[in-house]
Amino acid sequence: MAERAAGRYAPSPSGDLHLGNLRTALLAWLFARSTGRRFLMRVEDLDRVRPGAEQRQLADLAALGLDWDGPVVRQSERLDLYGHAIDRLRAQGRTYECFCTRREIQQAASAPHGPMGSYPGTCRTLTTADRARLRAEGRPAALRLRADITEYEIVDELHGVYRGLVDDVVLRRGDGLPAYNLAVVVDDADQHIDQVVRGDDLLPSTPRQAYLAALLGLPAPRYAHVPLVLNAAGQRLAKRDGSVTLADRTALGDTVEDVVSALSCSLGYSARTPAHLLRQFDPAVLPRRPSTFDENGLLQPDGCP
């Protein structure tokens, strides 16, 4: 029997979740549960990992009232899957080694000949002698995708049709670990995840991922990129913005129900538990603009109900 389709939340264990992270997790749970999907938890631990962060993140999500199906999956335990995907792309002639440093990439990407933020293909045409010389200099080699298009179109539940940049994304980093764009595509397909709900700051990277999925013969999920929570200065909320974690809020005297109420308010609802919010939830009426956090709580742009 085929596994039922799923949504997911996939935090990186680099620190405690702030209210913006919790709001996105709540939305991912609501989207999945309201459509009869399983809801999966995946820890994306291929980058910086802080001791104890995963345990605190999962504890906060459970305390909020979110549940998930099956065991937590960790990317660090799935390296063989990513290696097999890279092997398939290599066999198609769609990879090449890249010896560029981060500074060189930033300088090249800001030059007037290429789209801002794109990799200009500096190492695409290196000869065998060039690669040997760079290895002799001690430069580590990342592995990049040899893309044959520059744009790709996806459909987002909140943003509609979106056409974005595609360039030669990194598949395997210079340290030998798989890169985020590859890992997330492989994971979503392997876990039967057909609904991805995440912050709209990640929308520009989605065409790259959908294109990569197509090259691998994998189905692209349905996307919903949701508005972020911003600080009073209009910047993406971060832990430096004050009392923004669940532990911070409870230390100030808020209950978990108070936090859920504030998150619900920012979505245009009045509810004190995720289960109560689920009974009201309708993606069609979600705010399309970001919410703002101050020390008094989360505020929807037009005010809470």
Fold of 79-185+211-217: Glutamyl-tRNA Synthetase; domain 3 (3.90.800)
Helices (H), ranges, the chain: 19-34, 53-64, 79-91, 102-109, 128-136, 180-190, 206-215, 246-251, 256-266, 274-280
Q: Does domain 6-77+227-299 have CATH number 3.40.50.620?
A: yes
- What is the per-residue DSSP string for 164-188? EE----EEE-TTSPBPHHHHHHHHH
Specify binding-site residues for Zn(2+). Answer: 98, 100, 119, 123
Q: Give the model's pLDDT for residue 112.
A: 45
**Are the beta carbons of 196 and 222 closer than 8 angstroms?**
yes
- Domain residue extents for the chain: 6-77+227-299, 79-185+211-217
Q: Output the tens digit of pLDDT for each of the chain's 305 residues.
A: 567 899 999 999 999 999 999 999 999 999 999 999 999 999 999 998 999 999 999 999 999 999 999 999 999 999 999 999 999 999 999 999 999 988 887 776 554 444 556 788 999 999 999 999 999 999 999 999 999 999 999 999 999 999 999 999 999 999 999 999 999 999 999 999 999 999 999 999 999 999 999 999 999 999 999 999 998 888 999 888 888 999 999 999 999 999 999 999 999 999 999 999 999 999 999 998 999 887 676 765 555 65
Q: Which of 305, 302, 292 is nearest to 23 (CA)?
A: 292
Percent of the chain with pLDDT over 70: 92
Q: Give the model's pLDDT for residue 193.
A: 98
Specify binding-site residues. Answer: 8-12, 44, 98, 100, 119, 123, 180, 198, 239
Active site residue 239: yes
